[in-house]
């Protein structure tokens, strides 16, 4: 499985499921594929998580969710994966553009957090459903990049955050 196939899987799941059921639907669809593709999907997922491991996106998650721990950032990126390739790519290119995302706007209005822990285990869930066994630990590797030191500031610093993420800050301070 490559990235494009993974994104097609997510898009199919999005078409078939409610917003909070995309990861579960993706796991069901993935379980129908050969075992080697399921394992490869886990590597693609981790590669996408590594791609999205950036301080600017973490700051955006912090603003959106009113705080964001290490695990919380993983879960936020899980949610972002379930939004599809276009939303994911746009958020990586410009985290402040998340201010235009309908779910983010709704979160600002309703005061809900955006995260999806189950998205991190799409391949694990699919592998167990398809084979009855856990996904082999040696079927993937995880390598996160260093965070940008230029973004090493306290995300609770409203003035600094507003200067770097003006649209999100305005949306969540309103």
Residue 146 lies in a domain: no
Contact yes or no for 115/75 (Cβ under 8 A) = yes
Q: What are phi and psi of 165, to 5 degrees?
A: -130, 65
- Give the integer Cα–Cα distance in Å for 83 and 161: 24
pLDDT tens track for 97-109: 999 999 999 999 9
Residue 68 lies in a domain: yes
pLDDT at 129: 98
pLDDT at 67: 97
- Give the integer Cα–Cα distance in Å for 83 and 19: 8
- Give the integer Cα–Cα distance in Å for 32 and 154: 45
Residue 147 lies in a domain: no
* pTM given for the model: 0.96
Residue 59 has pLDDT above 90, yes or no: yes
pLDDT tens track for 86-143: 999 999 999 999 999 999 999 999 999 999 999 999 999 999 999 999 999 888 999 9
pLDDT tens track for 12-42: 999 989 999 999 999 999 999 999 999 999 9
Residue 166 lies in a domain: yes
Structurally, the chain folds into a number of domains equal to 1
Residue 103 lies in a domain: yes
pLDDT band at 83 (very low <50, low <70, confident <90, very high): very high
How many CA within 13 A on the CB side of residue 129?
18
Q: Containing domain of residue 52, as a range?
A: 3-141+152-173
pLDDT band at 174 (very low <50, low <70, confident <90, very high): low
pLDDT at 139: 87
């Amino acid at each position: 499985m490559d990235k494009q196939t993974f994104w097609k899987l997510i898009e199919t799941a999005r078409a078939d499921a409610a917003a909070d059921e995309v990861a579960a639907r993706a796991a069901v669809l993935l379980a129908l594929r050969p075992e080697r593709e399921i394992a490869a999907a886990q590597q693609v997922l981790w590669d996408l998580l590594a791609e999205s491991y950036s301080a600017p996106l973490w700051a955006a998650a912090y603003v959106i969710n009113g705080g964001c721990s290490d695990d919380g950032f993983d879960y936020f990126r899980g949610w972002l994966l379930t939004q599809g390739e276009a939303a994911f790519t746009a958020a990586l290119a410009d985290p402040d553009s998340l201010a235009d995302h309908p779910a983010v706007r709704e979160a600002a209005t309703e005061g809900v957090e955006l995260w999806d822990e189950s998205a991190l285990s799409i391949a694990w869930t699919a592998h167990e459903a398809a084979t009855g066994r856990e996904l082999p630990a040696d079927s993937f590797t995880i390598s996160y990049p260093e965070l940008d030191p230029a973004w090493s500031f306290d995300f609770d610093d409203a003035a600094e955050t507003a200067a770097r993420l003006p649209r999100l800050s305005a949306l969540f301070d309103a």
